[in-house]
Chain A
């Protein structure tokens, strides 16, 4: 599969498709976009790069008509247009595949697609068109399959095919590979190349620099709401791209694998858990030992049991057998979350706002949230010691560089990266012996991510046992001493990180090649329909 065989020459000569000039968007005090210029040419794969909060999503939403710019103009094929809503965008020929899918799980593929299209087409005709279009672009789909039964990679295909049916001239894709295995991503790239060859432009939003270098013809880089540079990514390295995004060199995380490990502090023995709803994931016979001094990374694609595994170790959901989970030598399967915390365990869930922190409470109250019964003297005879909590908040703010507009604000006013530093810092401040963290740097800027990853490694080197659950393979490689893969509620045996190649992880993510045979089945069904 040679994906480098793209014809980059002549990209500049292509006619302009869309030109946005001086786009400014103000949200109250904040300038999300500040005089942004962007030009996309026909048949071009154009990368939009930037850290979280750089203004990429705002710009894209303006192009797709979901937001209205405060000022600035958009020209489509040389003519000035006003894109007042997504329907107008689709009419022009702009399609968008969102990072978070908007599919109804209880409906079939064809029903989901019909909902997004103008009325009047017969279901049977539409199903035929779906099969035809999806096969033409190498994205086979079975129109009659129920969305709930389909893996994430296939669901993304539905979104893409839904856009393709409207024959777009510009396809916007927001972080499309974040939910895919490396193999699935390669398939997607082939489709994108085919589309580009046919003259369709693609605006590709990603923070995966390797990928951008590999497939994009042109890149626009944003920082703090402005375009800071444009380049030909094929002529750059990931490191130079990262520097343009962040504006400075990103600190490399130092891990120095020692190899020396201590006692088993987290012991899972054949842990199983039923799915709590139709769309939940059941855990099947999960066994895992994590030793003092090491970080075990758990890779996997979204919704393969990550949050269930987290809940079972944290005690938000209890297992039947007390002895099937042991923390720091104590049987803990039936223990509640605060009892586990008192043993010396700490937990950081995936969702910062709404799980790890209460949006409407000030930070010092959010300190009380997880530390009210961990022996930190925050409660005296049922009365909350507010000044004690405020002191802790200040300490966490200083130690973990949490930036805020004024002292002790409500959690919801913090940016993603700062809130994550706070939520992680709140637990690290306790000096835990066991730490379980789900998606430690999801949606966090590169600087904060490096700080958090380094803090986790340092904690392990000081004798803690750490589990990092992450969908970001780069992150797993950066922090983990051993790697296991979670797929459909089953956990592979952890292996030393240096022995795990990306290909091997990809196979394990897909459930040992099981997904491949599935795909063939779908293809077969689709052609037979």
Chain B
């Protein structure tokens, strides 16, 4: 007996929906094995991770706070991944968006009024686009591999942030802590609810709807998909190879940059050396778990947001290390990619060749 992957004539619509669910199920099983191995009751752990956070208003609001940046970044990344541009550096674009957007509240804190916040958001978007344009330029001009360049730029962005908050942008009244000044009221997002939930989640929703419309209805969405699947046919359709690299990097950079400035001005309220628990990287998982479909990404973002909060809860209640969250997210990505195989292939059990004699079935 052996397993054979058999190519389907067309992709399976059923599997498109089932495969992410299957991946979640497999991650839970593998996760349970991991919990047993570190000596925790898997039922308790899964309850702490995925159920408990849904039982209080505070953590539901916190879920929105954590999911919004994931969704916003992942929607931008979906455009990249669909067009076969491997932008792995959303974390860096997020950081650069936060830095550029913070120029106003840190250096021009006297500039207040209703225009201040929109200006910060535009600056944030420009910061993310600027950082994303570097790998785009290197790819279109020199054929450089964007996976490497965009990833390396993450670390550069993080060191720039670190330098700024420890050096020139350090708060003069901050007792030497490596932090920027606290932002004025006009420089922070409007709060919603009792906790840390703020207006920034709206950007994620708008991005979901806008990109969904673009991908499913417009010729631009068509171009993105064609260039991603078959660039040669895309050229035959009159689409530009370089154009699509620039478009996808700039749009994902802008979204990541907005997520960055929104996080800083809404959730944190100042620049600190670390402003993200890895949103830019987790968003890659969100994008794939959501099948690169903005609506799917919305739900995937909520699930991964939950894993952050659940990880914190499990740390408190079960004394588990916070690395558990990363391992869990990693397993999820692994299973998502593996299960995607089922969309174009079906698995069949093949019995070994019967020995001569019984095999003559003349039709």
Would B235 and A316 count as touching, CB distance under 8 A? yes
Q: Which of B6, B230, B232, B236 has the most CB of A within 10 A?
A: B236
Interfacial residues of chain A within 313-351, with CB under 8 A of chain B in the complex? 314, 316, 336-338, 341, 347, 349, 351
Asked if B107 is an interface residue, CB under 8 A from chain A, the answer is no
The residue that B10 contacts in the complex, of A21, A351, A356, A412, with Cβ under 8 A, is A412
Would B222 and A365 count as touching, CB distance under 8 A? yes
Asked if A384 is an interface residue, CB under 8 A from chain B, the answer is yes
Chain B residue numbers with a CB within 8 Å of A354 are 230, 232-233
The residue that B217 contacts in the complex, of A35, A373, A384, A410, with Cβ under 8 A, is A384
Q: In the complex, what's the smallest C-beta–C-beta distance from A81 to chain B, in angstroms? A: 10
Interfacial residues of chain B within 319-359, with CB under 8 A of chain A in the complex? 346, 353-354, 356, 359
Please name the residue on chain B nearest to A22 by beta carbon.
B360
Also in contact, A72 and B359, with CB within 8 A (given A368-B222, A369-B237, A383-B218): yes
Q: In the complex, what's the smallest C-beta–C-beta distance from A414 to chain B, in angstroms? A: 9
Asked if A382 is an interface residue, CB under 8 A from chain B, the answer is yes
Chain B residue numbers with a CB within 8 Å of A34 are 363
Also in contact, A384 and B233, with CB within 8 A (given A22-B359, A34-B363, A73-B356): no
The residue that B229 contacts in the complex, of A337, A338, A349, A361, with Cβ under 8 A, is A361
Please name the residue on chain B nearest to A338 by beta carbon.
B238
Also in contact, A384 and B222, with CB within 8 A (given A27-B6, A338-B238, A351-B232): yes
Q: How far is the CA of A412 from the CA of B362 in the complex (A)?
A: 31
Would A28 and B363 count as touching, CB distance under 8 A? no
Would B219 and A382 count as touching, CB distance under 8 A? yes
Would B220 and A382 count as touching, CB distance under 8 A? yes
Please name the residue on chain A nearest to B221 by beta carbon.
A384
Also in contact, A361 and B238, with CB within 8 A (given A22-B362, A72-B360, A354-B233): no
Would A383 and B217 count as touching, CB distance under 8 A? yes
Q: In the complex, what's the smallest C-beta–C-beta distance from A375 to chain B, in angstroms? A: 14
Chain A residue numbers with a CB within 8 Å of B356 are 73, 80
The residue that B232 contacts in the complex, of A82, A337, A355, with Cβ under 8 A, is A355
Asked if A58 is an interface residue, CB under 8 A from chain B, the answer is no
Please name the residue on chain B nearest to A226 by beta carbon.
B363
Also in contact, A316 and B359, with CB within 8 A (given A384-B222, A412-B9): no
Q: In the complex, what's the smallest C-beta–C-beta distance from B84 to chain A, in angstroms? A: 13
Would A358 and B233 count as touching, CB distance under 8 A? yes
Also in contact, A372 and B217, with CB within 8 A (given A35-B363, A354-B232, A410-B11): no
Asked if A357 is an interface residue, CB under 8 A from chain B, the answer is yes
Q: How far is the CA of A379 from the CA of B232 in the complex (A)?
A: 22
Asked if A370 is an interface residue, CB under 8 A from chain B, the answer is yes
Would A356 and B218 count as touching, CB distance under 8 A? no
Asked if A111 is an interface residue, CB under 8 A from chain B, the answer is no
Asked if A409 is an interface residue, CB under 8 A from chain B, the answer is yes
Asked if A86 is an interface residue, CB under 8 A from chain B, the answer is no
The residue that B361 contacts in the complex, of A24, A341, A358, A412, with Cβ under 8 A, is A24
Asked if A359 is an interface residue, CB under 8 A from chain B, the answer is yes
Asked if A68 is an interface residue, CB under 8 A from chain B, the answer is yes
Chain B residue numbers with a CB within 8 Å of A71 are 354, 359-361
Asked if A15 is an interface residue, CB under 8 A from chain B, the answer is no
Q: How far is the CA of A502 from the CA of B230 in the complex (A)?
A: 38
Interfacial residues of chain B within 162-214, with CB under 8 A of chain A in the complex? none
Q: In the complex, what's the smallest C-beta–C-beta distance from A379 to chain B, in angstroms? A: 5
- List 5 extra interface pairs beyond A21-B360, A73-B360, CB under 8 A: A22-B362, A35-B363, A73-B359, A349-B236, A409-B9
**B residues neighboring A (CB under 8 Å):** 6, 8-11, 217-220, 222, 225-226, 229-230, 232-233, 235-238, 346, 353-354, 356, 359-363
Q: List, sorted by A's number, 9 A–B pairs whose CB atoms are closer than 8 Å.
A: A28-B6, A354-B233, A358-B226, A361-B225, A368-B222, A373-B238, A383-B217, A383-B218, A412-B9
